[in-house]
């Protein structure tokens, strides 16, 4: 069983796409239908893939394990996954490598939160002792962030039970009492708060750092080596899309709502996408993962990035 949830200043016109990817080629892209994995939806709607000579087939996955299984098994070529999951895969010998950045965590944006029911008698980390908390994947970034926050605020990890749920199921699980707290993210988080179905207890991912790379687009090292032109073209499209999305959140909200079937309020905090892929932005995540048992030991983040092709 796969337990890991695997998987700057340039004008748009200057983000040129590789000339080698002129003939249309199909890339199968798999991603959870959430803000963090929404770049392909934007690129498709804006024609960026077509301009790059890419026929993009976008597949939706309910969780990171499904993404990892699809890429590892060849059902998809490229997937979106957080750094903890890819680091864990790397440690286990799975040949996953990042080729482009996805969502950057920016603390001031409050992109993710730990929520509880509005009237729940839970007001501090210690109030969660003996309770059940839902995360998007066991030992993924949401659980690591929760662990760090919980310990920093006086909690005892052995006293809490964590279970895995899809992001889309988090609010219902809290409201129904199936879980006592849940890690939620955009676009589901703002809508649940607007409807007052949940309230925020804390922002655990901010315990890792103020700004860091949360996730990226990965493939297998074999696929990257066999398709260097497509890798370069895809990475350029993701960079171009990140630049656009970071500056057009009202427009991107409409595309995301159509792609996911969920309400996306353009006035709420949205994901900030990485406009470049840098090891330094991943290192704090790898270090935290090692501290809380997602991986056995820290290692240089550069090992997770595909070699220049």
Average pLDDT for the chain: 89
What pLDDT digit, counting tens, does each position of 287-301 carry?
999 999 899 999 999
How far is residue 167's CA from residue 190's CA, in Å, rounded to a whole number?
13
How far is residue 181's CA from residue 198's CA, in Å, rounded to a whole number?
9
Instruction: Report the predicted TM-score, pTM, of the whole model to 2 decimal places.
Output: 0.78
How far is residue 110's CA from residue 233's CA, in Å, rounded to a whole number?
32
Q: What is the pLDDT of residue 85?
A: 87
Cα distances (angstroms) measured from residue 198 to each of 10, 85, 161, 170, 283: 39, 27, 20, 10, 32
| 3-state class (DSSP) for residue 116 | strand
What pLDDT digit, counting tens, does each position of 54-112 carry?
999 999 998 777 898 999 999 999 999 989 889 999 999 999 999 999 999 998 888 89
Query: With 50 as the cut, is the pLDDT of residue 305 above it?
Result: yes
Query: With 70 as the cut, is the pLDDT of residue 6 above it?
Result: no
Of 305, 301, 4, residue with least CA distance to 144: 4
Q: What is the pLDDT of residue 35?
A: 86
In the chain, what are the domains?
12-106+211-301 (3.40.190.10), 109-207 (3.40.190.10)
Longest dimension (CA), the chain: 60
What pLDDT digit, counting tens, does each position of 134-143 carry?
998 888 889 9
How far is residue 51's CA from residue 22's CA, in Å, rounded to a whole number?
8
């Amino acid at each position: 069983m796969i337990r890991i949830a695997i998987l700057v200043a340039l004008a748009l016109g200057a983000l040129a796409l590789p000339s080698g990817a002129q003939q249309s080629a199909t890339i199968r892209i798999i991603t959870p239908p959430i803000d963090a994995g929404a770049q392909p939806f934007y690129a498709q709607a804006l024609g960026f893939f077509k301009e790059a000579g890419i026929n993009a087939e976008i597949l939706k996955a309910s969780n990171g394990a499904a993404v990892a299984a699809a890429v590892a098994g060849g059902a998809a070529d490229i997937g979106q996954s957080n750094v903890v999951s890819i680091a864990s895969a790397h440690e286990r010998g799975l040949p996953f490598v990042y080729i482009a950045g996805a969502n950057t965590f920016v603390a001031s944006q409050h992109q993710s939160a730990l929520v509880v029911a509005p009237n729940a008698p839970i007001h501090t980390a210690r109030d969660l002792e003996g309770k059940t908390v839902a995360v998007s994947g066991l030992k993924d970034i949401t659980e690591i962030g929760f662990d760090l926050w919980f310990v920093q605020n006086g909690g005892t990890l052995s006293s809490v039970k964590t279970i895995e749920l899809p992001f889309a199921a988090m609010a219902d699980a809290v409201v129904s009492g199936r879980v006592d707290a849940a890690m939620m993210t955009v676009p589901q988080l703002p809508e649940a708060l607007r409807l007052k179905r949940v309230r925020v207890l804390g922002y655990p991912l901010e315990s890792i750092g103020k700004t860091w790379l949360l996730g990226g687009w990965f493939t297998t090292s074999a696929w990257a080596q066999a398709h260097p032109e497509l890798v370069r073209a895809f990475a350029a499209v993701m960079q171009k899309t990140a630049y656009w999305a970071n500056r057009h959140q009202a427009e991107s909200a409409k595309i995301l709502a159509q792609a996911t079937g969920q309400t996306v309020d353009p006035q709420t905090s949205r994901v900030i996408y990485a406009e470049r892929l840098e090891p330094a932005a991943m290192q704090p995540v790898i270090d935290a993962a090692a501290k809380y048992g997602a991986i056995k030991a820290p290692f240089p983040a550069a090992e997770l990035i595909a070699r220049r092709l």
